[in-house]
C-alpha cells in the first residue's frame, strides 16, 4: 500500500501526543505499519506540540514540507503555522477555537483573522474542514476530550487508513478508564460534526 | 506491572525509541544503570527508574554524567551488565573518566547511550558524538529505526562483553522521540551481585600501567574494526553503479527517496550501523565498481572522510561527496525533501520536488515561545533581583528552566554556555569589569557542577552573588530527583543533601535562604547580600508548580482574580511579573483561574490591592 502521512499540531496540554498514540495503537492492532515522531519543545511551558504519524510503506519518521496527506490542527493559528506542510492534495481538518499565546493575551502580538486565513488556505488544499471542536469537547464532558473530537473528525474524513470502529475500540482499550466514556462521546461527536 | 517488564516474547508493542532502548537493555539482562537526565535521552532513565522500583534492577539518578559513568564503571569492573544514559553534551562531562576507562576496559559490560540533538531542539550545541569514538577508540553503534534501537542495544551488550570495552550507542532526537513497532524478545535474568578481582597493574592507570594498556586498547580497536567489517549492522543493499553511504535516520530518508525516484536499481546503499571503528574493508568492497558516491549523514562529515580514506587506500579515484555547496550542510537536521533533492541533483535524476502551497501571503501565526509557567518561583526571584540591580549587574546564567528568564520582560541572563559555567564565568566577569555580577544556577545544576566553581570562587576571593534557584527537582527534563531532593514519599533509601550546608561548608559566610514569593523579604535579602564583597549566596527556595502537583502532600491553592471595581489598570502585574495566567480583555487585566497557581506573587505589586483570591464556592 502507499504511505499515508499525517501531521498533528497543537498547543501543549491539548492532548496531541495521546491522540497520536491512539492512531499508532490502532495501526498496530490492524497490522498496518506505522512510524511516529513527536516534537514537544517545552510544551508544558506553553509551547507548540507537533506529531507526525506515517502509515504504510516507508522508513522515514518525519514528513517534509508539502508532503503531508492530512494536517490535523487542534488550534487554528497552529494550523496556519503548519500550512507549508500542505500541498494541493492535502486534507486539512482544524479546530476553530483559538488558544491565544501569552504574547497575544497581553497585547504584545497580533492574533490573525483566522476566518480569512483559513479561507485562503482552503482555496489551496484539496479540502479544508473547520469546526468548533472545543465546544463539542465541552459538550461531551471535558475540554480535555478535544483530541478525541479531532480524531472523530479525522476518522470521518477517511483520510487515514483506520476505520471509525477500530479507532473507537482503541479508545476503549487504550485511553484512561475514567476518561473512556467522555472520550467515546467526544469521538462520536467529532465523527458526526463534519 | 511496568509495560517494559512484560515477558511475552513475540508480542508487538508500540514503543518510543527511548523505551525500545530501555527494553533492549532489560532483554540483555542489565543489572545496573545510572543517568543524569538530558533531552532527548531522559525517557530511557525514566523507564529504569520505574522498573527499578518493581525489580532488583539497580538504578540511580547520579549527580552528573561523569559520576553516572563512574558508578556504573565500578559495577562493571565487578562483572555486572551496566548502562549509562546521557545527552551529547553530557559526554563532555563524562569524557575524562571515559577516555581512561577505555584503557582499563571493563569486566562485565557497559553500554553508554549518547543522544545527539541535531537542530538543537533542546540543547546548547549540536556537536557530533561520533568523534568521541575516534577520541576514545570505543565502538559506536547507530540505529536507524526504533525496532533496531532495541536489537542494537542487546548487541551492544554482547559486543561490550566480548571486547571488554564500553560500547557507545549513539542516537539522534528523531530516534529517541520516534515511535514504532517493536517485537518483544525474552527477558534475561539479571546478575545483580559481582566480584571484584584486584589487579592494580591493569586497573590503576599510573603511567607505567597506561603504557601497557594503550597497546591493549589498540588491539581491541583492531578486533572491533574486524567486527565492524563483518557486522550485520553494516550492510550493502543493491548492485547499482551509484553509491550512497548513510547512517541513522538518513538511511530512512535515502530509502524512501530512492523508492519515490523510482531509481533504486541504479543504486547501491551502504548502511552503516556499526560506525566506529569504521568498516573500512567493507567500504572498499562497496566502492569497487561504483561510479560516484554520495554520503548522507547529519552533522559532521565523519563518514565522508572515512569513505574518502577507504577509497584512497583502495587506489580508487572516484568522486565522493557529502557536505558542501549544493550538497548537505553540517548544520541542523536532514529531512526527506532535502535528501531527495540532493540525490536528484547529484546523480542528475529527474525528480518531482514536493510542492508546498503558497504561504507567503498568508497572515503570520503569532509566535508561541515557551515561557516560565504560571506560579514559577524562578520568575519571582528574577523580578526581585532585577528590582535591585536592573541592567547594572552582569547575569551569567545556567542550564535549566530558568534559562527562559532571558526572555523579556525579565531579561535575566547575559551569558550561558554549559552546566555550572554560570558560577565559573562569574569570577571572570567580576575581575575583568569590576561590575556587580549575579550568577544563577538551579538546584540540580548546582549538584551537577556547581560545587567546584564555588570552591574556586571562595579560594580565589572572587566577588559575586550566586543565586541558587531551588525548586526541589530537575524540572526542565521532567522532574527527576537530584541529591538535594527529599524522596521519602517514595520509600526509597535516599538521603537529602542540604544546599545551605554545602555552601556554608565550602566557606561562604553570607548565605540567606528565602521564599521568593515573599517579595519584600527577598528584596531585603538581596540588598543585604549586595553590600558584601566576596562570594555571597542567596538560596531562593519554593517548589516547581508542575512537580508539586505530583506529590502526596499537594493541596491546590485558591486562584486569584482581578477585582474590576478596584483595578485602576496600572498593569504593574503584567509589566513586571508577566505571568502567563494574565490576559487582557477589553484592555483590562484578567487572570485565567485555570492557569493561576495561587502563588500570590502578583498580589504584592498591585497598588490598589485589586488582586484577590477567588471565593470558595458556597455550599
Q: Residues 489..548 of B with a Cβ closer than 8 Å to A: which?
A: 546
Say which residue the cell 487542534 belongs to. A74
Show residues of chain B in contact with A62, CB under 8 Å. Answer: 174, 249, 335-336
CB contact under 8 A, B181 and A103: no
Over the stretch B475-522, which tens digit does the pLDDT of each residue have?
999 999 999 999 988 988 899 999 999 999 999 999 999 999 999 999
Q: How far apart are CA A155 and CA A58, in angstroms?
A: 22
Q: Which residue of A has its CA nearest to B182?
A: A28
Q: Residues 144..173 of B with a Cβ closer than 8 Å to A: which?
A: 144-146
Nearest to B478 by CA among B14, B36, B19, B11: B36
Full DSSP string of B478-539 = T-B--TT---GGGT-------HHHHHHHTT--EEEEE-TTSHHHHHHHHHHHHT--SEEEEE
C-alpha cell at B353: 520536488
Residue B494 has what pLDDT? Answer: 92
Coil, helix or strand at residue B562: strand
C-beta neighbour count of B95 within 10 angstroms: 16
C-alpha cell at B505: 561548608
Nearest to B588 by CA among B563, B619, B608: B563
Over the stretch B347-361, which tens digit does the pLDDT of each residue have?
999 888 899 999 999
Show residues of chain B in contact with A21, CB under 8 Å. Answer: 14, 179
Q: Which residue from B355, B361, B582 is facing A66, i.e. has the nearest CB?
A: B355
CB contact under 8 A, A66 and B367: no
Q: Give the max Cα distance, chain A.
A: 49
Residue B384 has what pLDDT? Answer: 98
Q: How far apart are CA B434 and CA A120, in angstroms?
A: 57
C-alpha cell at B286: 562497496
Q: How far apart are CA B47 and CA A109, in angstroms?
A: 40
Q: Which residue of B has its CA nearest to A88?
A: B357
Q: Which residue from A24, A47, A66 is facing B14, i.e. has the nearest CB?
A: A24
Q: How far apart are CA B115 and CA B173, in angstroms?
A: 7
Structure confidence at residue A1 as a pLDDT band (50, 70, 90): low
Over the stretch B181-208, which tens digit does the pLDDT of each residue have?
999 999 999 999 999 999 999 999 999 9
Residue B615 has what pLDDT? Answer: 85
Structure confidence at residue A39 as a pLDDT band (50, 70, 90): confident
Q: Which residue of B has its CA nearest to A52?
A: B178
Over the stretch A135-169, which tens digit does the pLDDT of each residue have?
999 999 999 999 999 999 999 999 999 999 999 99
On whether any CB of chain A is under 8 Å from the CB of B181, the answer is yes
Q: Which residue of B has its CA nearest to A102?
A: B580
On whether any CB of chain A is under 8 Å from the CB of B207, the answer is no
C-alpha cell at A110: 497580533
Q: Is the pLDDT of residue A171 over 90?
A: yes
Q: Cα distance from A111 to chain B (closest Cα, Å)? A: 6
Q: How far apart are CA B95 and CA B89, in angstroms?
A: 10
Residues of chain B with pLDDT under 70: 616-619
C-beta neighbour count of B591 within 10 angstroms: 20
The dihedral over CA atoms of B331, B332, B338, B340, expressed in degrees to the nearest 10, equals: 100
Q: Cα distance from A105 to chain B (closest Cα, Å)? A: 5
Q: Is the pLDDT of residue A2 over 80?
A: no
Cis peptide before B588 (omega within 30 of 0): no
Over the stretch B114-149, which tens digit does the pLDDT of each residue have?
999 999 999 999 999 999 999 999 999 999 999 999
Residue A106 has what pLDDT? Answer: 79
Cβ-contact A47, B368 below 8 angstroms: yes
Domains of chain B with bracketed CATH: 3-230 (3.40.50.970), 235-346 (3.40.50.920), 377-548 (3.40.50.970), 560-613 (3.30.70.20)
3-state SS of B422-471 is HHHHHHHHHHHHCCCEEEEEEHHHHHHHCHHHHHHHHHCCCCEEEEEEEC
DSSP at B178: E
Q: Is the pLDDT of residue A115 over 80?
A: yes
Show residues of chain B in contact with A104, CB under 8 Å. Answer: 366
Q: How far apart are CA B407 and CA B412, in angstroms?
A: 7
- Using a 10 angstrom Cβ sphere, with 0-12 exposed, 13-18 middle and 19 or more buried, the burial of residue B417 is middle
Sign (positive/negative) of CA torsion B172, B176, B179, B185? positive
On whether any CB of chain A is under 8 Å from the CB of B604, the answer is no
ipTM: 0.95
Q: Residues 412..471 of B with a Cβ closer than 8 Å to A: which?
A: none
Domains of chain A with bracketed CATH: 4-193 (3.40.920.10)
Show residues of chain B in contact with A58, CB under 8 Å. Answer: 252, 255-256, 259
How far from the centroid of its chain's Cα atoms is residue B35's Cα?
11
Residue A41 has what pLDDT? Answer: 66
Full DSSP string of B18-34 = HHHHHHHHHHHT--EEE
Give the β-pairing of B611-613 and B560-562: antiparallel
Over the stretch B594-603, which tens digit does the pLDDT of each residue have?
889 999 999 9
Of the residues A60, A71, A100, A114, the best mutation for testing chain B's interface (the one with the most B CB atoms within 10 Å of its CB) is: A60
Cβ-contact B86, B92 below 8 angstroms: no
Q: Which residue from B145, B357, B584 is facing A88, i.e. has the nearest CB?
A: B357
On whether any CB of chain A is under 8 Å from the CB of B180, the answer is yes
CB contact under 8 A, B357 and A110: no
Residue B618 has what pLDDT? Answer: 41
Amino acid at each position: 500500500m502507499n504511505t499515508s502521512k499525517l501531521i498533528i499540531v497543537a498547543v501543549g496540554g491539548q492532548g496531541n501526543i495521546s491522540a497520536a498514540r491512539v492512531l499508532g495503537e490502532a495501526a498496530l492492532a490492524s497490522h498496518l505499519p506505522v512510524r511516529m515522531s513527536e516534537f514537544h519543545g517545552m510544551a508544558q511551558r506553553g509551547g507548540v506540540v507537533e506529531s507526525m504519524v506515517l502509515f504504510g510503506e516507508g522508513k522515514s519518521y518525519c514528513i517534509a514540507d508539502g508532503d503531508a496527506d492530512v494536517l490535523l490542527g487542534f488550534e487554528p493559528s497552529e494550523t496556519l503555522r503548519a500550512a507549508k506542510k500542505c500541498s494541493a492534495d492535502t486534507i486539512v481538518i482544524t479546530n476553530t477555537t483559538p488558544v491565544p499565546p501569552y504574547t497575544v493575551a497581553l497585547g504584545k502580538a497580533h492574533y490573525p483573522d483566522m476566518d480569512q486565513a483559513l479561507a485562503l488556505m482552503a482555496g489551496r488544499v484539496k479540502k479544508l474542514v473547520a469546526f468548533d471542536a472545543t465546544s463539542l469537547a465541552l459538550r461531551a464532558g471535558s475540554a480535555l476530550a478535544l483530541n478525541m473530537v479531532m480524531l472523530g473528525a479525522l476518522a470521518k474524513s477517511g483520510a487515514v487508513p483506520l476505520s471509525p470502529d477500530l479507532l473507537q475500540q482503541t479508545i476503549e482499550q487504550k485511553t484512561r478508564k475514567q476518561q473512556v466514556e467522555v472520550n467515546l462521546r467526544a469521538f462520536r461527536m467529532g465523527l458526526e460534526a463534519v | 506491572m511496568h509495560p517494559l517488564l512484560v515477558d511475552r516474547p513475540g508480542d508487538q508493542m508500540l514503543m518510543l525509541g527511548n523505551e525500545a532502548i530501555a527494553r533492549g537493555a532489560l532483554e540483555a539482562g542489565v543489572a545496573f544503570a545510572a543517568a543524569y537526565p538530558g533531552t532527548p535521552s531522559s525517557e530511557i532513565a525514566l523507564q529504569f527508574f520505574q522498573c527499578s522500583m518493581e525489580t532488583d534492577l539497580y538504578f540511580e539518578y547520579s549527580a552528573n554524567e561523569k559520576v553516572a559513568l563512574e558508578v556504573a564503571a565500578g559495577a562493571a569492573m565487578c562483572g555486572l551488565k551496566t548502562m549509562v544514559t546521557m545527552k551529547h553534551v553530557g559526554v563532555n562531562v563524562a569524557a575524562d573518566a571515559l577516555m581512561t576507562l577505555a584503557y582499563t576496559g571493563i569486566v562485565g559490560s557497559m553500554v553508554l547511550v549518547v543522544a545527539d540533538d541535531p537542530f538543537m531542539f533542546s540543547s546548547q550545541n549540536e556537536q557530533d558524538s561520533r568523534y568521541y569514538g575516534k577520541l576514545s577508540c570505543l565502538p559506536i553503534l547507530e540505529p536507524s529505526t526504533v525496532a533496531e534501537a532495541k536489537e542494537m542495544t542487546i548487541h551492544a551488550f554482547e559486543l561490550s562483553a566480548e571486547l571488554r570495552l564500553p560500547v557507545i550507542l549513539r542516537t539522534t532526537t528523531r530516534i529517541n522521540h520516534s515511535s514504532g513497532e517493536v517485537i518483544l524478545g525474552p527477558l534475561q535474568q539479571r546478575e545483580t551481585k559481582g566480584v571484584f578481582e584486584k589487579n592494580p597493574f591493569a586497573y590503576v592507570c599510573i603511567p607505567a600501567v597506561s603504557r601497557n594498556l594503550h597497546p591493549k586498547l589498540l588491539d581491541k580497536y583492531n578486533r572491533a574494526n574486524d567486527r565492524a567489517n563483518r557486522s550485520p549492522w553494516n550492510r550493502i543493499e543493491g548492485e547499482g553503479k551509484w553509491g550512497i553511504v548513510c547512517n541513522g535516520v538518513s538511511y530512512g530518508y535515502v530509502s524512501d527517496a530512492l523508492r519515490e525516484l523510482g531509481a533504486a536499481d541504479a543504486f547501491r546503499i551502504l548502511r552503516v550501523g556499526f560506525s566506529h571503528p569504521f568498516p573500512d574493508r567493507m567500504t572498499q568492497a562497496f566502492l569497487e565498481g561504483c561510479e560516484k558516491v554520495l554520503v548522507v549523514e547529519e552533522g559532521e562529515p565523519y563518514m565522508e572522510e572515512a569513505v574518502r580514506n577507504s577509497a584512497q587506500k583502495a587506489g580508487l579515484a572516484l568522486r565522493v561527496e557529502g557536505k558542501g555547496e549544493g550538497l548537505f550542510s553540517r548544520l541542523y537536521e536532514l529531512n526527506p525533501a532535502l535528501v531527495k533533492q540532493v540525490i536528484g541533483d547529484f546523480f542528475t535524476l529527474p525528480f518531482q520536488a514536493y510542492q508546498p502551497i503558497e504561504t507567503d501571503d498568508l497572515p503570520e501565526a503569532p509566535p508561541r515561545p515557551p515561557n516560565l509557567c504560571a506560579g514559577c518561583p524562578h520568575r519571582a526571584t528574577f523580578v526581585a533581583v532585577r528590582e535591585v540591580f536592573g541592567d547594572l549587574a552582569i547575569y551569567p546564567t545556567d542550564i535549566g528552566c530558568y534559562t527562559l528568564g532571558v526572555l523579556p520582560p525579565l531579561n535575566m541572563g547575559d551569558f550561558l554556555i554549559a552546566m555550572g559555567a554560570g558560577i565559573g564565568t562569574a569570577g571572570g566577569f567580576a575581575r575583568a569589569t569590576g561590575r556587580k555580577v549575579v550568577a544563577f544556577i538551579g538546584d540540580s545544576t548546582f549538584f551537577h557542577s556547581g560545587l567546584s566553581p564555588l570552591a574556586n570562587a571562595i579560594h580565589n576571593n572572587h566577588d559575586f552573588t550566586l543565586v541558587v534557584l531551588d525548586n526541589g527537582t530537575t524540572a526542565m527534563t521532567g522532574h527527576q530527583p537530584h541529591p538535594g531532593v527529599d524522596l521519602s514519599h517514595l520509600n526509597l533509601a535516599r538521603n537529602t543533601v542540604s544546599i545551605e550546608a554545602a555552601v556554608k561548608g565550602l566557606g561562604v559566610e553570607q548565605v540567606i535562604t528565602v521564599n521568593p514569593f515573599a517579595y519584600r523579604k527577598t528584596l531585603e535579602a538581596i540588598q543585604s547580600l549586595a553590600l558584601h564583597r566576596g562570594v555571597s549566596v542567596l538560596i531562593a527556595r519554593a517548589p516547581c508548580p508542575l512537580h508539586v502537583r505530583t506529590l502526596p502532600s499537594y493541596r491546590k491553592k485558591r486562584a486569584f482574580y482581578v477585582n474590576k471595581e478596584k483595578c485602576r489598570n496600572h498593569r504593574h502585574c503584567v509589566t513586571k511579573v508577566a505571568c502567563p495566567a494574565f490576559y487582557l480583555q477589553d484592555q483590562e487585566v484578567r487572570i485565567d483561574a485555570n492557569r493561576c497557581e495561587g502563588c500570590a506573587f502578583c498580589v504584592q505589586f498591585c497598588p490598589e490591592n485589586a488582586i484577590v483570591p477567588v471565593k470558595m464556592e458556597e455550599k
